[in-house]
Amino acid sequence: MGHPNQTSSVTPLRAISRAVSFAAFGCLLLGQPPAFAQSASQQQASTTNNRTTNNAAAGFDDETDVSTTPAANGTAATVDETQQRPAIADAQPGDEITGSILDEDMRRLNTREARVDETLPGRRAAESASTAETPGIPLGTFVLRPSVTQSINTETTKDGDTRQRRAFLETDAAATLTSDWGRHQLSVTSEGAWQKNISGEGEEQPSFKINGDLRLDLPQDTVAHLTAGYNFYREDTDDPDAIANATQQSDVQEFSAGASVQRDFGILRGTTALALTRSIYSDATLASGATVTLSDRNQTTGTLRGRVGYELSPALIPFIEATIGRTIYDETRDSAGYERSGHSYGAKAGVEVDLGEKLKGEVGAGYAMADFEDGRLSSIDTATLDASLLWSPIRGTDVNFDLETSIQPSTTAGESGYVSHALTTTVTHQLRDNLVGTMIGGVIWRDYPTDSTINDELVYTAATGLTWNINRYLDLTSTLGYELTTRKDGDDSQQFRAGVGLKLKR
């Protein structure tokens, strides 16, 4: 059923009054919610559309003068009324009448989701007590971080049928001194141990070490290092050069100095280094109280090393390296009449790896040789395989893998020396936020030449330890270690050690 036509019957005076009312009402809309303003706009547009539709249904086209159209109630629509209606219907959403001052997203019921790059950064994990670094002690432009560990230990040594036990106190001190300069850097590290027997028998093993490294950041991608160090230790009774039946072995002092320059030539990286080492041996004390002079072992060694690397990428750099060394003993002939001075040579090829926290280090293979001025001492040569890798399979776990091949000269009469193959693996794992466990395993193969009178030896080491971080400045430590030395000819030797201590750090 059709609807009747509807036309306006508003008089000119009433039309003017209505226009003024609409203008005032539009001003009020500026302070209303956008939904209300939008509703008013839709209502006005709907009214105009209805009028147009009804006119079209009545048979009038757009060009027909609506002022002459008869109304349903007998009143004609005026021109003034017709001119007022489009003024309201044609208003744009941004106008004062129907426009909204709020953002489009605020009018939406389901607001848009933020992009990934707009999300807030994730919260950083709190630093654990085991990894937190102590603030240190400011000293001008340097920061000093010292630590002292006091422990009580027990040790059992078995050499053939001879067994010794001792309990001793050990004081370990360590410190790092690092500069805080805008350019260049100086770092000094030191550590030492002092032992005091409180029961039983056994030789005390004091030690002290200090090393300094001055890094110079030079122009044109050049970095230079100046190093110096001092190392004091007492020879172990299981050392091949140790004096048999000595109650106190020789105290060894080593002085070292070196310089190196590294420069990048685009994809090539060159390094040149020079190292000097001075070794001084004290007398050994026998059980009878007599001393054995070991000054004939005093020596000075110089080594020149050159390396060239090719940067395939910042994470992978193959390299080749060559070394040449010279050893000069203070005395031309030792106590047995042998001339120990000589030369050493080496070359290897390998690759440097740097994958950030996951894996870094280097692996190389090559050849090394040492010869002596005395013709009665045979030369020693060997293939070498060296590696130093730090691997972190998961966060909180670090695996340090070291493999080293070296030639160790001997001072035993008639012996040139031996080749040392040393493998050491250290695993550190953070068991809890303030508890760190450490496991160490290693093996050393002392490979003597075929014409030597000394048989090969194997040294196995295993140790474990726990460190409980009571707070940033105090740790509780515990250690447990075992060492076994096996010989093809002769008695094996064993050593077992356990201890617990407190570490104070600043």
- The pLDDT tens digits for 214-252 are 999 999 889 999 999 999 999 988 888 888 888 889 999
Q: Which residues lie below 8 Å from residue 269, measured CB to CB, with a gap of 6+?
A: 262, 263, 308, 309, 310, 311, 317, 319
- Give Cα 332 to chain centroid, integer Å: 48
> Beta partners for 336?
none
Give the CA distances from residue 17 to residues 9, 31, 42, in Å, rounded to whole numbers and listed in that order.
Answer: 14, 23, 22
Distance, CA of 82 to CA of 71 (rounded, Å): 14
C-alpha angle 362/343/232, rounded to 5°? 70
Beta carbons of 409 and 378 less than 8 angstroms apart: no
Question: What is the chain's percent helix, strand, coil content, to nearest 5?
Answer: 15, 55, 35
- The pLDDT tens digits for 42-53 are 444 444 444 444
**In this structure, what are the phi and psi dihedrals at residue 135, rounded to the nearest 5 degrees?**
-65, -25
In the chain, the amino acid numbered 435 is L
Distance, CA of 297 to CA of 279 (rounded, Å): 8
SS3 295: helix
**pLDDT (tens digit, 0 to 9) for every residue of the chain, 506 residues total?**
444 444 444 444 444 445 445 444 454 444 444 443 344 444 444 444 444 444 433 343 444 343 333 333 444 444 344 444 444 444 444 444 444 444 444 444 444 444 444 444 444 445 566 666 788 899 999 999 999 999 999 999 998 788 899 999 999 999 999 999 989 999 999 999 999 999 998 889 999 999 999 999 999 889 999 999 999 999 988 888 888 888 889 999 999 999 999 999 989 999 999 999 999 999 999 888 889 899 999 999 999 999 999 999 989 999 999 999 999 999 999 888 999 999 999 999 999 999 988 999 999 999 999 999 998 999 999 999 999 999 999 988 999 999 999 999 988 888 899 999 999 999 999 999 899 999 999 999 999 988 888 888 999 999 999 999 998 899 999 999 999 999 887 788 999 999 999 999 98
Counts of helices then strands in the chain (DSSP H, E):
4, 22
Strand 222-234 to 268-281 pairing: unpaired
